[in-house]
Each structure stands twice: as C-alpha cells, then as structure tokens.
Amino acid sequence: MSVKEGRVHVTPSAVDRRGWFERILAIRFFEEKVQELFMDGLVEGTTHLCQGQEAISVGSTAALSDDDYMTITYRGHGHALARGMPPEAAFGELMGRTIGCCHGVGGSMHLTDFSRGLIGSFAIIGAGLSVAVGAALSAQRRGDGRVALAYCGDGATNIGTFHEALNMAAVWHAPVVFIVENNLYAEYTPLQVTTAVTDLAQRGVANGIRSRIVDGQDVDAVYEAVLEAVAHARGDEGPSLLEMKTYRFRGHSRTDPAKYRSAGELEKWLERDPVTLLERRLRDEGVLSDDEAHEIRVRVQKEIDDAAATAAASPPPTLDAARAFVYASRELR
C-alpha cells in the first residue's frame, strides 16, 4: 500500500461540471453573505468559513449516491450546501430560526440533514470520524451498498479518536472514506509546529488504510479520487483516506484575522482559488462561455441573497419546541 495510487478515469458530463461551478459559487457567496449577516447582527456567536476549500465539498459529494452517509465538522457550511441543503435552511440555522435545518437550536457548527444522509456535524475535533465508522458498519451489516464519507481537518489527525476510527475502519473493513482537508493550520497554529508528519495521508497508511494525496483546489481531481475511494468501499474493498491539500482564505473563525500567515502565502494560494480554477478550465474547454459564467454568477448571488432574506423572515423556535428535541421518549417531555 502506498500513499499515491493510480486513478480511475470516469469523466463527468459538461452539465455536471457546470453544476459544480454553480455549487462552488453558491458556497463562496454563502460564506461571504454570512460575514455580512454578522455585521448586521443576524448571525451571532462564531462561524468557521470555508472559502478556498469549496472544491472539496463539491467534488466529494458529487461522487456519492443520495443515500450514502456523511459526517462533517464545524467548518461544514460547504459540505451541507454541496450535499443539497437548501441555503435558506442553512442560513436559518445560522440565524437561529425555525426554518433552519435543525430548527435553529444547532447553529453554524451543527448543520445536519438526515434526509440527505448528513447524519451529523460535529464541533468536537475528530468525533464524527468514529460515528461515520458506525454508520458504515450499519451499511455493511445490511449489505445495502451504502458508504460513509467522514470529513476532518489536519488538526484532527492529532487527536486520539482519529486513530481509533481509522484502526476500527481498517480492522472491520468498513465502507468508509475519510477526507482530511489539510488547510495547513490547526486553528491559529501552522501544521509543522504541531505535527511531525506533514503528508497526512501517511497516517492512513500507518493504520492500514489505502491513502492518497489529492489537490483539494481542483474539483475534477477531488471528484475522481473520491469516486475511486467510494467504489472501493462499495465493492467491499475497505476504507480509504484522502488527504486534500487545500487552504482557507479566511481566518479560523470569525474573530481570527489570520496574522500568522507568512508573507505572500495567501496570495500564492489565491492563484489557486477553486472558483477561478474551475471557471478558467471550463472556459478553456469551451464548456462555459463568458456570458454563461456571468449569468450564473448573477443568478447564484440572487439565490443566496433571497435565501438569506427568507431565513431572516422566519421566527425563532420556542423553548417548548427545543425541549421536545432533548429526549425521544414521551414521558420525559
């Protein structure tokens, strides 16, 4: 088993890839809108934005079937939107309104949608990984061919649960794909300061899991890699780990100005912005004209703005509604 392995070549259609462009843009515009909503006082607390990492959400979810499982993290707006969560449900959750996917009690870090297989969004580092292994075991026991996709960041590869989950997945041959989004910083601290192994795919190999390094800025590359890993999982060939090399263009969370970046680092990564990378490629290939690109931008921006307005018009939940979410058994409500 090696870190880098061959690819399968499954070519997505032009329509698919134009759809990816729309989704990447929708996530970008969503995240920018969240910052505006903060300034307007409509979103409070904290948020962890994913500008720069959108290609991973879009490329990976494109490789899934509708009934596959996903566990995501507190930096999860992109994954939820890529999976098809309506933006008003996501905005509503961030605003604490009943229209929110979790009726406003979860908030930014807990975008969950069981109807889309999005079975959990975790604000505790690494926690979702073992839950995804459990979901994969349930698919394995039923023999229904589902797989589980579990996302985490580079920082999560230092917590015990990461290794626990990888080992269990490997020893039980669970149909799970781990995606490590290596954006080079664990919160405010550069990877190399906290982590002796900086190609994190090695940690998959160390746990007996087929592992690859993938260009996380390139949605086509992400799609192909995840498609291959998902095919392995579905074919009872066990788990995979994909390390996505990526970068976040904003700070860790709302209050982080990201002063720890080295000079020129952000600018270098902005040259590999997944939005412009895909747009340029689609134009070069003649899949997307200038006019179409413009039309898409205007339309997606309006959809995002409208979704935010719809969410803002929704009322907050009641304490009684929230109380009913604590226990499933009626006698304790």
Partner 1 sequence: MNSASSEMSYRDAIREAMADSLEDDATTVLLGEDVADAGGVFKTSVGLVERFGRDRVFDTPICENGFVGVALGLAVTGYRPIVEIMFSDFLPSAGDAIVNELPKFRFMSGGQCNVPVTVRAIGGATGRFGTQHSATGETWYSGLPGLKVATAGTPQAAYSVLRTAIAQPDPVLFFEHKGLYGVKGPVVRSAPMDVGTAEVLRPGNDVTIVASLLMVQRALRAAAELELAGVDAEVIDLQWVRPMDMTTILDSVRKTRHLITVEEQVQLGSWGSSVIAQAAMEGIALDAPPDAVTLPDDLLIPYSPTLEDAIIPSATQIAERVCAIVGVAARG
Closer by beta carbon to partner 1, 69 or else 269? 69
Chosen residue from 63, 131, 147, 213 binding partner 1 by CB under 8 A:
131
* Contact status: 133 vs partner 1 (CB under 8 A): yes
Return the residue matching tokens 């270098």.
268
Q: Which residues contact 310 (CB under 8 A, 6 or more apart)?
A: 88, 91, 92, 99
Min dist CB 168 to partner 1, Å, is: 6
Tell me which residue of 224, 276, 274 sits closest to 248, measured CA to CA: 274
Closer by beta carbon to partner 1, 164 or else 199? 164
Chosen residue from 76, 78, 87, 100 binding partner 1 by CB under 8 A:
100
Phi, psi of 315 (to 5 degrees): -75, 160
Binding mask 141-160 for partner 1 (x = CB under 8 A): xx-----x-----------x
3 state SS of 122? strand
For the CA atoms of 319, 321, 325, 328, what is the dihedral angle to 10 degrees?
A: 120
Min dist CB 110 to partner 1, Å, is: 4
Window 61-90: residues binding partner 1 (CB under 8 A):
69, 71
CA diameter of the chain? 62
C-alpha 50: how far from its chain's center? 8
Window 294-333: residues binding partner 1 (CB under 8 A):
322, 324-329, 331-332
Min dist CB 21 to partner 1, Å, is: 31
Provide the β-strand partners of residue 73: 122
> Alpha-carbon distance 56 to 214, whole Å?
10
Closer by beta carbon to partner 1, 87 or else 106? 106
* Contact status: 39 vs partner 1 (CB under 8 A): no
Chosen residue from 72, 139, 209, 244 binding partner 1 by CB under 8 A:
139
Tokens of 115: 């109807």
Query: Contacts for 100-108 with beta carbons within 8 Å, 24 or more apart?
Result: 100/311, 100/314, 103/317, 103/321, 103/322, 103/325, 104/316, 104/317, 105/317, 105/322, 105/325, 107/45, 108/34, 108/43, 108/45, 108/46, 108/47, 108/48, 108/74, 108/77
Chosen residue from 110, 210, 212, 245 binding partner 1 by CB under 8 A:
110
Min dist CB 290 to partner 1, Å, is: 43
Chosen residue from 46, 167, 195, 301 binding partner 1 by CB under 8 A:
167
Closer by beta carbon to partner 1, 29 or else 178? 178
Tokens of 96: 């604490």
Chosen residue from 58, 137, 147, 200 binding partner 1 by CB under 8 A:
137
Min dist CB 77 to partner 1, Å, is: 16
Chosen residue from 59, 104, 153, 239 binding partner 1 by CB under 8 A:
104
Min dist CB 224 to partner 1, Å, is: 27
DSSP string, 136-195: HHHHHHHT----EEEEEEGGGGGSHHHHHHHHHHHHHT--EEEEEEE-SEETTEEHHHH-
* Contact status: 112 vs partner 1 (CB under 8 A): yes
Residue ranges in contact with partner 1 by CB under 8 A: 69, 71, 100-106, 110, 112-114, 119-120, 122, 124, 127, 129-139, 141-142, 148, 160-161, 164-165, 167-168, 171, 322, 324-329, 331-332
